[in-house]
Amino acid sequence: MPLFDPSTKPRRRSGGSFSALVTPVFLLFVILFTALLLPSCDGKKSNPTSAWPYPPPEICPAEQWDEDTSGWYAYTHDCDPYQGEHFTVYSDGSSDQAMEQLAGLAEEKFDHLVPEFLVEDIAGELEFTEGYTYYIYADQNHDPIQGMAYRNGFFIGAIDCATVPNYYTRDPWWYGCIIQHELTHVFQFTLTGCPSNAACPEWLGVWFREGQAVYMSGGGPGIRVTSLDEFHQWWEDENHVNPIAIHRWTDFPDPDRGGEYYPMFGLAYAYLIDRAQGHGAGMADMRNLFQLMKEGQGFFEAFEQALGMSVAEYQENFYTMMETYLSQAGQPSSRSLEEKMAFWGTNDDYRTGGEG
């Protein structure tokens, strides 16, 4: 029996170069968990009920995320959410302490992104009405989603994730980057006025929205292409196509290797907002792009109007522009291109209308 019924909606599994780099222990957990999950899946994700110390004493129905994900992540929770200022953390069993820690990290990232996105009025621009918060679903017993964002929040492996016990502790820096990345997507949804990815088929191009999220993740040069050598190395892989040609998830030549594009998407965005040696746009221009979309324009039209260059032009000249740019502005990084690609290689499901 396939993991997910292909007649309904096949689900991408991570693989490719990631599996070569992942630690054997982590891989063992993934394999073990996947094997245990096999008998219970019929195309729609559901909570595992027998393989792990589960279910919790009480089970509460899925909340907003059920609607946000069109039922694809209709996870129930343990009825004991942690309520913070801008986030409510739900889980299938994460401890109060771990949820509080996660909410605290998310608040930190939120406080960082608000001025980065030039948000002056949180209630008005981010639409925080009375009683509303973003949600975080902290996966404790599901297969660990590295991160998946929707209009109202995101999914992430719990700090005390049971299926990968060292999920957070193996690299807290990485974990923080993922939170900041997913939160960037939530801001994108809000500021462009898009209720969900599925509701906005002509939404921000994948290369742009992921590029911005990579750039805003807080990982600096360690998670995006930053040197001419890396650029050439990436481009010479015959499986890679022009990153600016990736407008939708279905544009990846090999969806299993979509994560390899993220460091290049990060470069594409970094160039746009480099005022010294790049295209020279600022966040005000990006917010203008978002605003135009909120008012009804499509991405291509809004991009050209806000940034003074068409997406087609950028795509056509991307190679030459990046060669020139990196010859001047390139910088070495302590991480290899393989490490950077592997960092993003575990991003999960690209097909449920969420943002990996």
Q: What's the closest the beta carbon of residue 332 comes to Zn ion, in angstroms?
A: 25
For 209, what's the count of Cα atoms within 13 Å in the CB-facing half-sphere? 29
Q: Where are the alpha helices (DSSP H) in 38-171?
A: 64-68, 96-116, 122-125
Q: Give me the least distance between CB of 181 and Zn ion, in Å please.
A: 5
Which of the ranges 54-62, 129-137, 207-215, 230-238 carries the binding residues for Zn ion, by CB under 5 A?
207-215
Q: Can you tell me which residue has the tokens 């009025």?
A: 121
Least spacing, CB of residue 72 vs Zn ion, in Å: 17
Of 37 and 179, the one with the shorter C-beta distance to Zn ion is 179
Query: Of 77 and 340, which CB lies nearer to Zn ion in the complex structure?
Result: 340
Contact residue for Zn ion among 213, 244, 264, 311 (CB under 5 A)? 213
Given the complex with Zn ion, which of 98 and 136 has the nearer CB atom?
Answer: 136
Task: Specify the residue, 230 or 355, whose C-beta has the smaller distance to Zn ion.
Answer: 355
Shortest gap between Cβ of 184 and Zn ion (angstroms)? Answer: 8
Contact predicate 193/294, CB 8 Å: yes
Q: For residues 98 and 145, which CB has a smaller minimum distance to Zn ion in the complex?
A: 145
Q: Which of positions 139-158 make contact with Zn ion (CB under 5 A)?
A: none
From residue 39 to residue 78, the character string flagging contacts with Zn ion as x (rule: CB under 5 A) and all else as - is: ----------------------------------------
> How far is 275 from 293, CA to CA, in rounded Å?
24
Q: Where are the alpha helices (DSSP H) in the chain?
A: 17-21, 24-37, 64-68, 96-116, 122-125, 172-191, 206-215, 228-236, 262-273, 283-294, 299-307, 311-329, 337-344
Q: How far apart are CA 21 and CA 346, in angstroms?
A: 11
Q: Are 213 and 184 in contact (CB under 8 A)?
A: yes
Q: Would you say 345 or 356 has its CB closer to Zn ion? A: 356
- Tell me the Ramachandran region of residue 234: left when phi exceeds 0, alpha when psi lies from -120 to 50, beta otherwise: alpha
Q: Write b or e for each residue in 328-342: b if 16 or more Cβ atoms lie within 10 A of its Cβ, otherwise e.
A: ebbeebebebeebbb
**37, amino acid identity:** L
Candidates 51-59, 130-138, 209-217, 248-256; binding stretch for Zn ion (CB under 5 A): 209-217
In terms of CB distance, is 62 or 179 closer to Zn ion? 179
Q: Which is nearer to Zn ion, 149 or 326 (CB)?
A: 149
Nearest residue (CB) to Zn ion, 232 versus 351 = 351
Shortest distance in whole angstroms from residue 177 CB to Zn ion: 11
**# residues near Zn ion by CB under 5 A:** 4
Nearest-approach distance from CB 344 to Zn ion, in angstroms:
8
Tell me if 21 sits within 8 A of 339, measured CB to CB. yes
Part of the chain binding Zn ion (CB under 5 A), chosen from 44-52, 213-221, 240-248, 329-337? 213-221
Give buried/exposed letters for 8-38 (b at 16+ CB in 10 A, else e). eeebbebebbbeeebeeeeeebbeebeeebe
Rank residues 318 and 350 by Cβ distance to Zn ion and give the closer one: 350
Show contacts with Zn ion in window 163-202 (CB under 5 A).
none
Shortest Å, Cβ 342 to Zn ion = 16
- Print the binding letters for residues 104-143 with Zn ion: x by CB under 5 A, - otherwise: ----------------------------------------
Which span (90-98, 136-144, 204-212, 221-229) binds Zn ion, by CB under 5 A? 204-212
Is 268 among the residues that bind Zn ion (CB under 5 A)? no
> What are residue 19's phi and psi, to 5 degrees?
-65, -25
The Cα–Cα gap between 323 and 227 comes to: 9
CB-based contacts of 172: which residues, under 8 Å, 6+ apart? none
In the complex, the residues that contact Zn ion under the rule CB under 5 A are 210, 213, 355-356
